[in-house]
Amino acid sequence: MQTRQLADLTWEEVRDLAPLSTTVAILPVGAVEAHGPHLPLGTDTIIAEAMARAGAERLETAGHRVLVLPTLAYAPAPFAAAFAGTLSIDAATVTGLVLDLARELGRHGVGALAVANAHLDPAHLDALAAGAASALDEHLLPVIFPDLSRKPWALRLTDEFRTGACHAGRFEGSVVMAVRPDLVRETIRAGLPPNPQSLSVAIREGRRTFAEAGGPRAYFGWPADASAEEGRAIIAVLGEILAEAVLEALAPGDTD
């Protein structure tokens, strides 16, 4: 079954999908922010869309109909705000958008909204969590948001990811190489030295920008070690995480 992109359908085609109660809408969420001198500003969006596609395939195999929503490509990005090209929006905008989408999808009878998020700035993660919590408070459809920065999901990802030194490094670079190799500045990437400074440690210590965290060129980790093969493996795991989070949330007996 080919995954349906909501924006590609006509209104009559959506009408004819009824009933939509077994349908899961997936919202890919990325950002426009600096990802080193070698990866595009839209890196997180590329990763989120790959996660959404892989998750959709697994959910469809499990018997769910899936609609992939147009990608949310803007996000709070205060850590990268000082770098040219980064577009950081207010956190309340993201929270409000998630809540509004939950209201609208519920109005159409959609069963659940899953967020395939690849942007890990703490302000953004808080905004998504607030949107999901507000939807719950309003008794809307389930908003399912597997936060990759937290257990159990983080433990499923790569060694580099778990160190916290994973912005525009091997983890993210590998996914972009697998999906959009044409956007990787390969000569620059291959020559970049490792930057093992952990963003997660820096966040706990109160650092608020990439520069303060030890990333003056907006990258952390081991970008020269990235590969398309590893990227494909990462995408598969991201898809599994998204599908498992949805199936767990929608399992019989989980009605809260």
pLDDT at residue 255 is higher than 60: no
What pLDDT sits at residue 1?
53
CA-closest candidate to residue 176, choices 120, 234, 128: 234
Q: Mean pLDDT across the chain, nearest whole number?
A: 96
What pLDDT sits at residue 254?
46
pLDDT at residue 3 is higher than 80: no
CA-closest candidate to residue 233, choices 189, 152, 190, 171: 171
In angstroms, what CA-CA distances link 49 with 21, 108, 134, 244?
23, 23, 25, 17
pLDDT at residue 19 is higher than 90: no
pLDDT at residue 215 is higher than 60: yes
In the chain, the percentage of residues whose pLDDT exceeds 70 is 98
pTM of the model: 0.96
Is domain 4-249 given the CATH code 3.30.365.10 in the classification? no
Cα–Cα distance for residue pair 78/74, rounded to 1 Å? 12
DSSP E strands in the chain: the ranges are: 4-5, 23-29, 65-68, 112-117, 143-144
Mean per-residue pLDDT, 47-69: 97
Helix (H) or strand (E) holding 141: none
pLDDT at residue 83 is higher than 60: yes
Mean per-residue pLDDT, 210-225: 98
**Coil, helix or strand for 222?**
coil
Residue 18: pLDDT band (50, 70, 90) is confident
Q: What is the CA radius of gyration of the chain?
A: 18
What pLDDT sits at residue 2?
62
CA-closest candidate to residue 87, choices 72, 108, 107: 72
- Who wins on pLDDT, 21 or 138? 138
pLDDT at residue 256 is higher than 80: no
pLDDT at residue 202 is higher than 80: yes
DSSP string, 67-128: EEPPPB--B--GGGTTSTT--B--HHHHHHHHHHHHHHHHHTT--EEEEEE----HHHHHHH
Lowest mean pLDDT among 21-25, 33-37, 177-181, 217-221: 21-25
Cα–Cα distance for residue pair 256/81, rounded to 1 Å? 37
What pLDDT sits at residue 172?
98
